[in-house]
Amino acid sequence: MGAKSGVANAKEKSEGKVLRAVKRALGVLKDAVYPENVTCDLCGKELTADTRYNLCAACTEKMPSVRGHVCLNCGVPINDEADFCLRCQRTESVYKLNRSPLVYEGGAKGLIYALKFGGKKYIAKLLGAMMADAYLNSDMDAEIAVFVPMSDAEKKKRGFNQAELLAREVGERLGLPVLPALVKVKETSPQKELTGKERADNLKGCFSVAYADWIAGRRILLVDDVFTTGATANECARTLLKAKVRQVSVLTAAVTVQKLATE
Ligand SMILES: [Zn+2]
Ligand SMILES: [Zn+2]
């Protein structure tokens, strides 16, 4: 009896040791991932409490998060009971659906602008975390993440591709491999100045596929920063489907509310 409990004690002791070591390791890891004295990615205020995202309470409150009833296709919130928003009622898409954690306005616009034009690459971490949550709240099930590519000239100008940064964050969180399976082979005019129809024409034939053997028959998660008319997502999806991909779902950081005047 005595000997037995001695063995049990020794076992408990060593288990306690292991547990403490694991806790220490996790502590180190936690510090590495979430450094202390972090500041809000939007307003720069010091974060005093543990938050899910790198945002202070005030900025979280102000974030135009997507909630409630959304368009079945593009994921933009809609007020009435319709299944599809006006944009999606009028356009055909070959991707399965798009989901975004944010509506492209206010603070969401600020974050994406700071990432793309302010060179604040760390914002991809915050947006990627939100996008991974949006993915998990949807019924998407992808096997490989692919990002919307930039041409060599575009990438040289900016120094990085924000869609690639977002895809890497999302891929890491969801355990999805990220493949540069799309290549931009043709320069295009800036989409910003074009209407929906012009955007689609502008993009025709500008993407090509790489790693064709890897993506054939797979369900692909296409990652981009903003979903506007859906023209980019559609052209990318068309290119991937031509290469025998099974299905393309789209995950973007923000979705625009359609402006009737420009479309
Ligand atoms: Zn803030
Ligand atoms: Zn829609």
The predicted structure's pLDDT at residue 24: 62
The predicted structure's pLDDT at residue 113: 96
- Of 255, 259, 258, nearest in space to 65 by CA: 255
Q: Which long-range contacts (CB under 8 A, 24 or more apart) does 244-247 make?
A: 244/212, 244/215, 244/216, 244/217, 245/215, 245/216, 245/217, 245/218, 245/219, 245/220, 246/217, 246/218, 246/219, 246/220, 247/96, 247/219, 247/220
> What CATH class does 63-262 carry?
alpha beta
Give 73 Cα–ligand 2 centroid separation in angstroms. Answer: 5
Give 82 Cα–ligand 2 centroid separation in angstroms. Answer: 10
In this model, does residue 9 exceed pLDDT 90? no
Dihedral pair phi/psi, residue 30, rounded to 5°: -60, -40
In this model, does residue 261 exceed pLDDT 60? no
Cβ contacts of 2 within 8 Å, gap of 6 or more? none
Computed on alpha carbons and rounded to an integer, the radius of gyration of the chain in Å comes to 22
Contact call for residues 179 and 209 (beta carbons, < 8 A)? no
Give 35 Cα–ligand 1 centroid separation in angstroms. Answer: 17
C-alpha to C-alpha distance for 226 and 251, rounded to whole angstroms: 9
- The predicted-structure confidence for 159-204, as pLDDT tens digits, reads as follows 999 999 999 999 999 999 999 999 999 988 887 778 878 888 889 9
Give 35 Cα–ligand 2 centroid separation in angstroms. Answer: 38
The b-or-e profile of 176-205 (16+ CB within 10 A means b, else e) is: bebbebbbbeeebeeeeebebeebbebbee
C-alpha to C-alpha distance for 113 and 202, rounded to whole angstroms: 23
In angstroms, what CA-CA distances link 167 with 149, 164, 187, 239, 250?
A: 11, 5, 22, 18, 11
- The predicted-structure confidence for 118-147, as pLDDT tens digits, reads as follows 999 999 999 999 999 999 999 899 999 999
Mean pLDDT of the chain: 88
Share of the chain above pLDDT 70, in %: 84
The predicted structure's pLDDT at residue 193: 79
Ligand closest to the CA atom of residue 89: 2
Give 89 Cα–ligand 2 centroid separation in angstroms. Answer: 7
In this model, does residue 31 exceed pLDDT 60? no
The residue extents of the domains of the chain are 18-59, 63-262
Cβ contacts of 131 within 8 Å, gap of 6 or more? 100, 101, 166, 169, 170, 223, 251, 252, 253
- The predicted-structure confidence for 67-84, as pLDDT tens digits, reads as follows 999 999 999 999 888 999
C-alpha to C-alpha distance for 49 and 21, rounded to whole angstroms: 26
Question: Which residues make up the environment of ion ligand 1, defined by Cβ < 5 Å?
Answer: 40, 42-43, 45, 56, 59
